[in-house]
Amino acid sequence: MKVAIIGGGPAGLYSAILLKKQRPDADIAVYERNRHDDTFGFGVVFSDATLDNFEKYDPPSYQRITQEFAYWDDIAVHFRGTVHRVGGNGFCGCSRRMLLLILQERARELGVRLFFEVEITDEEKFADADLIVLADGSNSRFRGKFADHFQPEVDLRSNKFTWMGSTKPLDAFTFVFQETEWGPFIAHAYQYEVGRSTWIFETDPDTFERAGLTGLSEEESAKRMETIFSEFLDGHPLLINRSMWRNFPMIRNQRWVKDNMVLLGDAKATAHFSIGSGTKLAMEDAIALADAMRSAPTIDAALNAYEHGRREEVEKTQHAADVSLVWFEHVDRFWDFDPVQFAFGVMTRAKAITYDNLGLRAPEFVAEVDKVFARQVRTRGFDINVEKPVAPMFQPFKLRDMVVRNRAVVSPMCMYSAKEGVPQDFHLVHYGSRAIGGAGLIFTEMTCVGPDARITHGCTGLWNDEQEAMWRRIVDFVHGNSAAKICLQLGHAGRKGATKLMWDGIDRPLEEGGWDVVSASPIPYFPDSQVPCELDRAAMSRIKQEFVDAAIRGDRCGFDMLELHCAHGYLLASFISPLTNTRTDEYGGALENRLRFPLEVFAAMRAAWPALKPMSVRISATDWAEGGLTGDDAVEVARAFGEAGVDLVDVSTGQTVRDSRPIYGRMFQTPFSDQVRNEAHVATMCVGNITSADQVNTILAAGRADLVALGRPHLADPSFVLRAAAWYGAADAYCPPQYLPGKEQIFRNSVRDRQDFEELKIKGKPKTRAELKADAKADPAKPLAAE
Ligand SMILES: Cc1cc2nc3c(=O)[nH]c(=O)nc-3n(C[C@H](O)[C@H](O)[C@H](O)COP(=O)(O)OP(=O)(O)OC[C@H]3O[C@@H](n4cnc5c(N)ncnc54)[C@H](O)[C@@H]3O)c2cc1C
Ligand SMILES: Cc1cc2nc3c(=O)[nH]c(=O)nc-3n(C[C@H](O)[C@H](O)[C@H](O)COP(=O)(O)O)c2cc1C
């Protein structure tokens, strides 16, 4: 078998090693245009987990790599004169040059043919090869040549960055956030060998411009960065090696394989340097390719298996890198934060590190985070303990005159169980049990303002006395038996109306017994859905009045709060999204026009709703679709509602159009809440795949939302909040007197359960390589277990 590998970076060399080990008889050649010891950049970093993988796949190169590595455990965040450190992270650094030399040596040993200073311009040169590996880096010539087939997407990010080195020693992965007269600069720095550290500098394009960096030579810009970061470099110089300022290319490819050619490493997909995973991805691609080649019967099948088996993992890493890079791009959002909260945000930005997890590694830091949060709550007029505060989830919050005892909310969820819009006993038990279960605030399901405003026959309504009476009964029960507040969500289904119950086919049109549906524009949801009638002014006025009438009934029921549903593609959302609003009157066109009707409805309801009671609006912050709403639009939408008097923006996403492409994952909508809260400066509630109290605390403590809604977790467990209160020892959590013995028991047991759990976690956690190295230093007779 003959294999030609174009590119002698980590992806090319490691795939050569693994394939040669697997097929010693194969003719494997690597072609690299640079000299063998000619490399840009300084260090690379790997996590302990990545090194475990290397150990499994090629122990000899692993041994050499780890001999050369610098290990460290801590992450340090420097911001406004403070430094916060967190241990237990397990990172290793090594020079890129050394890594490549080790891989070259190992490849040679195995019999791989290595060619340097050979630039490949045409794959025809390898017409007789069985497999051609395209590992030619982020500017891949061959990805470009076959762009029609691979369908690459190269998203050049806005921030400028450069990769420099220094002789400054560092004992932690260090983030420095430096204020300058031009704007914020960030350094991502780590030591990779004795006397050498990597310094990646990053800033936004405006700050770059204002700082006069445009057009400076490498030497000049290094001098400028030395001045900006002088207090952190301690007189050590910055070193340059092709240290040009660039924009990071986020690269993805629709296809990874063409005939017998396969993309690997940066040529195929990049991951932002802030999660240090580019080299990891490249080398793990090589592992995945070797695995596929080992088990598949033909090269075609192997390449197919590689692409299909590996894609999800790569996309997950890229998603984490995306979340992280966006955090750095928008660091100005958090610049006014308290340094402790800021540092907490840095640590938890990419979701892998959480509040509880930090609580184990750095309890004093998390205690500080809690205190900072509690002090902020106190400045809002709450007489709470700031010295030994409860976790953020159990801190109170106030909107107008409404006070909620904790930050956990039952998200609005249709139960599809009403009859003619009248809530049933099911609803009384459903809402009642969640109120008793301890949530601070409970939202009703989308309650419709008229019979033809319903999504389904099972939706609740509030347009007649019978409905009002049952809602009053529910509200009275909640107020009489719990400490929860209850918010009425009012909506109109628009073009998603006259559809089946969730369990009969969500959003599918009713075959019989439906009603005529309306929308901003006559565009059906599914191709076979009813074509909605475009609303005229008279119909808009009628519907606005229905919202007002329902709000007045809601007040009579005793609801504490009112939410206007402008999300998920329902009527008011259909006005806001450009994908569903193609009107040519003053309600279509620019965002300002598309918002006009939802704002009119909001203003009319606000005028009818008591001034002391708060109102929120639920929005879809993005349509997750080409040409649709984006996070930036959501900030504008939130600002407009904020000016109209909204107290809270309930930030959801999507469900506007059928062909949307949401990126799901843990807490996947939280970045939008973060953006809206910290750019539009309005209080927000976030929601979406938030499943644990740990995540709730992580979000709140990082200042990414003010309230956190949980939908499905509350369907599975009405006492979600009481359980969390027991876990965090929030003794003040409300419990009705009838249930007190249960509360006492769960609080008592939780202390022990938590201790057991933490001990298990600590005992079960393997030592990081940095810890093993420290142990070995203390006791030289003891071998390094992981090496
Ligand atoms: C600023 C910065 C910081 C980074 N920090 C880290 C980090 O801390 N940790 C980490 O893991 N990763 C880091 N990375 C990412 C890392 O450098 C890359 O992700 C990794 O090198 C990808 O490996 P690769 O083999 O796919 O590509 P490359 O390393 O780019 O190798 C491709 C090779 O192909 C050669 N080549 C290209 N075209 C041809 C041709 N036509 N003929 C012959 N040869 C050719 C090139 O000369 C090059 O040597 C960083 C990247 C940047 C830009
Ligand atoms: C069965 C069900 C019904 C829902 N009904 C509504 C609703 O009436 N109004 C609304 O705004 N969102 C509704 N949603 C969306 C939820 O409020 C929430 O945003 C979504 O479930 C994501 O949160 P989760 O991951 O915590 O479940 C519903 C979700 C589910 C699962």
CA-to-CA distance for 335 and 316, rounded, in angstroms? 28
The mean pLDDT value of the chain amounts to 93
User: Strand 152-166 and strand 246-253: pairing?
Assistant: antiparallel
pLDDT of residue 736: 94
Q: Using the mean position of ligand 1's atoms as its centre, give its distance from the Cα of residue 270 in Å.
A: 10
Q: Using the mean position of ligand 2's atoms as its centre, give its distance from the Cα of residue 714 in Å.
A: 11
CA-to-CA distance for 553 and 467, rounded, in angstroms? 9
Give me the helices (H) in 595-681, please.
596-608, 631-643, 670-675
Residue 413: CB within 6 Å of ligand 2? yes
**Beta strand segments in 204-285, E:** 238-239, 246-253, 257-258, 261-263
Give yes or no for a contact between 250 and 275, defined as CB atoms under 8 angstroms apart: no
Query: Catalytic residue at 570?
Result: yes
pLDDT of residue 633: 97
pLDDT of residue 784: 43
3-state secondary structure of 176: strand
Residue 652: CB within 6 Å of ligand 2? yes
Determine which residue's CA is closest to atom 21 belonging to ligand 1: 279
Smallest CA-to-CA distance from 252 within 267, 237, 272 is with 267
Other Cβ atoms within 10 Å of 587 Cβ, number: 21
CA-to-CA distance for 581 and 522, rounded, in angstroms? 9
Predicted confidence (pLDDT) per residue in 559-573, tens digit: 999 999 999 999 999
CA-to-CA distance for 338 and 347, rounded, in angstroms? 14
pLDDT of residue 40: 64
Give yes or no for a contact between 669 and 699, defined as CB atoms under 8 angstroms apart: no
Atom of ligand 2 nearest to the CA of 563: 11
Residues 6+ apart with CB under 8 A from 478: 431, 432, 435, 442, 484, 486
Residue count of the chain: 787
Alpha carbon separation from 728 to 168, 693, 696, 734 (Å, rounded): 42, 9, 12, 14
CA-to-CA distance for 305 and 311, rounded, in angstroms? 10
Residue from 410, 413, 490 whose mutation best tests the ligand 2 pocket (most atoms within 8 A of CB): 413
Atom of ligand 1 nearest to the CA of 279: 11
CA-to-CA distance for 563 and 490, rounded, in angstroms? 6
Determine which residue's CA is closest to atom 51 belonging to ligand 1: 273
Bridge partners for 2 per DSSP? 27
Alpha carbon separation from 331 to 131, 572, 630, 674 (Å, rounded): 44, 33, 19, 12
pLDDT of residue 786: 36
Give yes or no for a contact between 279 and 46, defined as CB atoms under 8 angstroms apart: yes
Q: Using the mean position of ligand 1's atoms as its centre, give its distance from the Cα of residue 172 in Å.
A: 24
Q: Using the mean position of ligand 1's atoms as its centre, give its distance from the Cα of residue 266 in Å.
A: 6
Residues 6+ apart with CB under 8 A from 42: 95, 96, 163, 164, 165, 192, 196, 197, 198, 199, 239, 241
pLDDT of residue 783: 47
Residue 41: CB within 6 Å of ligand 2? no
Pocket of ligand 1, beta carbon within 6 A:
6-12, 31-34, 44-45, 119-120, 135-137, 141, 163, 200, 265-267, 273, 276-280, 282
Residue 565: CB within 6 Å of ligand 2? yes
pLDDT of residue 353: 86
Q: Which ligand is nearest to the CA of 570?
A: 2
Q: Using the mean position of ligand 1's atoms as its centre, give its distance from the Cα of residue 137 in Å.
A: 5
pLDDT of residue 90: 74
Q: Using the mean position of ligand 1's atoms as its centre, give its distance from the Cα of residue 326 in Å.
A: 22
Determine which residue's CA is closest to atom 14 belonging to ligand 1: 278
Alpha carbon separation from 513 to 498, 500, 509, 543 (Å, rounded): 8, 10, 10, 22
Alpha carbon separation from 348 to 265, 327, 414, 527, 623 (Å, rounded): 27, 10, 32, 42, 26
Smallest CA-to-CA distance from 728 within 690, 686, 764, 757 is with 757
Residue 281: CB within 6 Å of ligand 2? no
CA-to-CA distance for 47 and 71, rounded, in angstroms? 10
Predicted confidence (pLDDT) per residue in 51-78, tens digit: 899 999 999 999 998 887 788 788 999 9
Predicted confidence (pLDDT) per residue in 627-683, tens digit: 999 999 999 999 999 999 999 999 999 999 999 988 888 888 999 999 999 999 999
pLDDT less than 70: residues of the chain: 39-41, 764, 766, 779-787
pLDDT of residue 787: 30
Cα within 13 Å of Cα(55), Cβ side: 14
Smallest CA-to-CA distance from 698 within 390, 356, 326 is with 356
Q: Using the mean position of ligand 1's atoms as its centre, give its distance from the Cα of residue 131 in Å.
A: 21
Give yes or no for a contact between 245 and 221, defined as CB atoms under 8 angstroms apart: yes
CA-to-CA distance for 58 and 17, rounded, in angstroms? 8
Q: DSSP for 116-146, please give it.
A: -S-----GGGGTT-SEEEE---TT-HHHHHT
Residue 689: CB within 6 Å of ligand 2? yes
- The residue annotated as part of the active site, out of 416, 570, 587, 728, is 570
- Tell me the one-letter amino acid at 613: K
Residue 11: CB within 6 Å of ligand 2? no
Residue 522: CB within 6 Å of ligand 2? no
Determine which residue's CA is closest to atom 2 belonging to ligand 2: 413
Alpha carbon separation from 577 to 94, 127, 264, 443, 572 (Å, rounded): 49, 51, 38, 24, 9
